[in-house]
Amino acid sequence: MIRPALVLAISLLLPAALAADPPASAMRIVRASQILWQHDAKFPGLEFAVLEGDPSAPGKPYVIRVRFAPGAFSRPHFHPEARHIVVLQGTWWVGAGPRWDPESTTPVPAGSFVVHHARQIHFDGAKDEEVIVQISGIGPDTATAVDERGRPQP
């Protein structure tokens, strides 16, 4: 005869066992609450989080997230590598060229995909809402600021 206490114990443990994460050897899960955001010293109003890889490692893939506070924009810059971007939240505003003009940017809503081609000058940011983008690329992930003539700045 099965005891009621045993049935209760099994019924309480069964959902937890079914909800357990797959083994780490099969996959790594990063939940939103586990993402460690860091302030970006180069771009005020931006935070970033490394989800996978090491963005500073040459020739190695990486995945990062960038969070733009409302009104935060990067100044014109370029990256040495192509970057693949998915807009996860908000409307991201993008512009190209060395002349910084947030009013001439193009809106890119959540769910959209963008490719920043290697060494192409651009700027981007948020207008009236927080924006989160996810970026993947091959390191090193660096940004080179440019002046209004497109010349690299230190």
What is the rounded CA–CA span in Å between residue 10 and residue 12?
Answer: 5
pLDDT at 63 over 60: yes
For 82-117, give one letter per residue: b (16+ CB within 10 A) or e: ebebbbbbbebbbbbebeeeeeebeebeeeeebebe
Over the stretch 71-97, which tens digit does the pLDDT of each residue have? Answer: 999 999 999 999 999 999 999 999 999
Structure tokens at 48: 């970033």
**Longest alpha-carbon distance in the chain:** 85
Report pLDDT for 13. Answer: 61
Which residues are registered as beta bridge partners of 52? 63
Res. 28: pLDDT tops 80? yes
What's the order of all strands across the beta sheet hosting 77-78? 106-109, 91-96, 122-125, 77-78, 144-145
Predicted confidence at residue 19, as pLDDT, reads 74
Pick the CATH number of 22-145 from 3.40.50.300, 3.90.650.10, 1.10.340.30, 2.60.120.10: 2.60.120.10
Task: Give the number of other Cβ atoms within 10 Å of residue 144's Cβ.
Answer: 14
* Token pair recorded at residue 114: 């963008």
pLDDT at 9 over 70: no
* Structural domain spans, the chain: 22-145
Give the pLDDT band (50/70/90) at residue 2.
Answer: low
pLDDT of residue 4: 64
Predicted TM-score (pTM) of this structure: 0.84
